[in-house]
Amino acid sequence: MRRKAGLFLAAALIASVMAFAAPSVASAYWVDAAVGGWAYDPSGDMSYKGDSLDLESDLGFEDKSGAMVRAKFDIPTPLPNLYFMATPMSFEGAGLKGFRFGDVIFNPYVPFDSKLDINQYDIALFYAVPLLQTASLNTLNIEYGINVKLLDVEAEIRQDILGLNEKKSLNAPVPMVYLAAQFRPVDALSLEAEVRGISFSGNRFMDYIGRVKLLPMGPVTFSVGYRGENLKIDKDDLDVDVSVQGPFIELGFEF
């Protein structure tokens, strides 16, 4: 129930932002949207009221791949521009180890299954550095603003043979700083970088993206890049410290 409430809250917040921006988006003079695939390698640990468990050696998490969706709207001044990005991540594994997770002590002689879902919805409101594009003959652009990351996290471990199961979920909005830059030496090529981040009260959220975008014909775009994230979540007795990184590809449009 709590997980569903968090998803509804995330959807409501996203809908509210989009509804607020809708009149301006209709008159936007630039849109950049893409769908992509990301191959990432997880590392780190997690705990819930008990032992710290290594994501790879204890829980058996392995390399994964998942989808990325983003849409960016350049809105006429004075309203801020809008950037939306969705990144679902899911890890599954199995192991043989005795430990405490939540209120359950798992038997060291019986195999267990584990799962960690981290779904993220990023909404950034940003401005471009005034007159920089004009001064650089439309080759350089730098953006700055705020990003709200809507987190939906669920961790679960179970030993089906013994009927043991423990699950913990949480939902939280996280305000972050957003910085980005684009360098376009020619019309058909763009080199791009994005950083989102904040650290407070034992929590840390860092997200960085490097992208090479090609515009081969018309509004169609094709991108290759590298993305990394470090999420340190310490809330409601759930402590998750996970780093993921790896290459991605995107297919989209820009006009």
Q: Is 80 exceeded by the pLDDT of residue 14? A: no
Name the token pair of 117: 């879902």
In sequence order, what are the residues at sequence separation of 6 or more whose Cβ sits closer than 8 angstroms to the Cβ of residue 35? 67, 68, 69, 250, 251, 252
HEC profile of 94-118: EECCCEEECCEEECCCCCEEEEEEE
pLDDT in tens, 119-141: 999 999 999 999 998 999 999 99
Percent of the chain's residues with pLDDT above 70? 89
| First vs last C-alpha separation in the chain | 41
The answer to whether the CB of 249 falls within 8 A of the CB of 68 is: no
Kindly report the average pLDDT of the chain as a whole number: 89
Q: 164: pLDDT confidence band, cut at 50, 70 and 90?
A: very high
Domains detected in the chain: 2-254 (2.40.128)
Closest residue by Cα to residue 83 from 91, 75, 95: 75
Q: What is the pLDDT of residue 21?
A: 42
Q: What is the pLDDT of residue 186?
A: 94
Closest residue by Cα to residue 180 from 222, 146, 131: 146
Largest CA distance in the chain: 68
Q: Is the dihedral of CA 47, 115, 155, 249 positive or negative?
A: positive
pLDDT in tens, 175-219: 999 999 999 999 999 999 999 999 998 899 999 999 999 999 889
The least confident of 8-17, 58-67, 99-108, 235-244 is: 8-17
Question: Judging by DSSP bridges, how do beta strands 81-95 and 99-101 pair with one another?
Answer: unpaired
CB atoms within 10 A of CB 227: 21
Q: What is the pLDDT of residue 29?
A: 56
Which runs of E-coded beta strand occur in 49-202? 53-54, 64-74, 81-95, 99-101, 104-106, 112-128, 140-159, 164-186, 189-200
pTM of full prediction above 0.75: yes
Q: Is 60 exceeded by the pLDDT of residue 25? A: no
Q: What is the pLDDT of residue 3?
A: 46
Q: How many alpha carbons lie under 13 Å from residue 10 in its C-beta half-sphere?
A: 25
pLDDT in tens, 94-111: 999 999 999 999 999 999
Q: What is the pLDDT of residue 202?
A: 86
